[in-house]
């Protein structure tokens, strides 16, 4: 699909109206906070937020961009800009999703637009008359979940690419055992494959999960050998649809009460644990500060643009001393020394 300048201009007008309203003026008490964020960061830390007020407790010393999936919150905009952080708002339209960064100059005017568009199928040429264009990519360019796009052309049309290095078990081709959501070597291979296509590594942002999968076992032999119900997806006989997504804030509360406690898998370089309910074994695979740190080191190894996560709300921001430490460790893992 080729985007004409006329279509882009029409979408810009629609996004301005959907995201920010018309003529509403600057929502911040300090009008300077409605000006564009111009600070250049050494690397990107891209945070998806799904709503509520968790953002008040984010580590703002690290964040560079907030992609807000929840309702528009002017308080978030003002607070983020006070910390020199961009805010990106979502507006669903056509066959994809568009995100616009809102800041005001004069009465209700925006002068910066970010578009993250996920097309349904096929190759894409993206032509945009905007300041900043980016694109959500599957964890590998190898037709993951039927996403067989011309990734090099997309990369050449974008400022940077957010690579969703999670949900890697959406198609299980080898066996129906529970596995890690984002195994290290599989993660690394995805970025290497993109770079081998000719994509500049500085255009790639490493996406990591702040959630895991809880898999009920139809049979359980030992840790790492939890047999799953066969739920096919896009030709593969099994998939992660056999489990449910679990946020890290829930995992952090449960792992110490499990049968096994935290078990480290050195092959996939992620932890897991086993628990039982109603005579059924469950195996939970997840990421924690250790596994996130190992993956975030890929940034330096391959000279990537930065890192981000799905999503910032999946941590526990209570004031309990033990939980505070868990949460701090997850934020710190994004930025290896």
Please tell me the total number of residues recorded for the chain in this structure. 337
183: left (phi over 0), alpha (psi -120 to 50) or beta: beta
Name the residue with tokens 């409605």: 34
The three-point CA angle 112-92-55 to 5° equals: 65
Helix (H) or strand (E) segment spanning residue 184: helix 184-196
Q: Name which of 99, 50, 98 is nearest 76 in CA terms.
A: 50
- Sign of the dihedral defined by the CA atoms of residues 194, 200, 202, 204, in that order: negative
Strands 306-310, 204-209: pairing is parallel
Q: Is 75 labeled as catalytic in the residue annotation?
A: no
The three-point CA angle 69-71-74 to 5° equals: 110
Q: Which of 75, 95, 107, 267 is catalytic?
A: 107
81's tokens: 């800009």
Burial class (CB in 10 A: 0-12, 13-18, 19+), 56: exposed
335's tokens: 């930025």
54: left (phi over 0), alpha (psi -120 to 50) or beta: alpha
Q: Which residues are catalytic?
A: 107
């Amino acid at each position: 699909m080729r985007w004409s300048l006329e279509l882009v201009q029409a979408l810009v007008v629609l996004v301005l109206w959907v995201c920010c309203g018309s003529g509403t003026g600057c929502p911040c008490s300090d009008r300077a906070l409605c000006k564009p964020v111009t600070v250049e960061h050494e690397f990107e830390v891209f945070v998806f937020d799904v709503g509520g007020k968790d953002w008040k407790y984010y580590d703002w010393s690290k964040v560079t961009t907030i992609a807000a999936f929840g309702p528009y919150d002017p308080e978030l905009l003002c607070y983020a800009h006070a910390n020199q952080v961009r805010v990106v708002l979502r507006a669903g339209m056509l066959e994809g999703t568009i995100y616009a960064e809102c800041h005001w100059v004069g009465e209700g005017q925006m002068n910066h637009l970010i578009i993250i568009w996920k097309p349904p199928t096929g190759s894409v040429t993206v032509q945009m008359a905007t300041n900043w264009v980016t694109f959500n990519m599957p964890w590998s360019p190898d037709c993951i979940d039927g996403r067989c796009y011309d990734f090099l052309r997309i990369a050449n049309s974008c400022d940077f690419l957010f690579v969703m290095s999670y949900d890697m078990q959406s198609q299980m081709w080898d066996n129906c055992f529970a596995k890690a959501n984002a195994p290290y070597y599989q993660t690394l291979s995805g970025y290497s494959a993109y770079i081998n296509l000719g994509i500049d590594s500085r255009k790639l942002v490493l996406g990591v999960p702040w959630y895991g999968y809880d898999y009920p076992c139809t049979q359980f032999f030992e840790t790492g050998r939890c047999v799953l119900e066969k739920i096919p997806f896009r030709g593969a006989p099994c998939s992660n649809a056999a489990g449910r997504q679990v946020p890290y804030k829930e995992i952090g509360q449960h792992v110490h009460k499990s049968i096994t406690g935290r078990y480290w898998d050195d092959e996939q370089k992620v932890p897991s644990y086993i628990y039982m309910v109603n005579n059924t074994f469950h195996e939970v695979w997840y990421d924690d500060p250790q596994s996130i740190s190992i993956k975030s080191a890929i940034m330096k190894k391959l000279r990537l643009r930065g890192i981000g996560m799905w999503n910032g709300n999946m941590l526990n921001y209570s004031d309990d001393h033990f939980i505070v430490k868990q949460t701090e460790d997850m934020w710190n893992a994004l930025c290896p020394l």
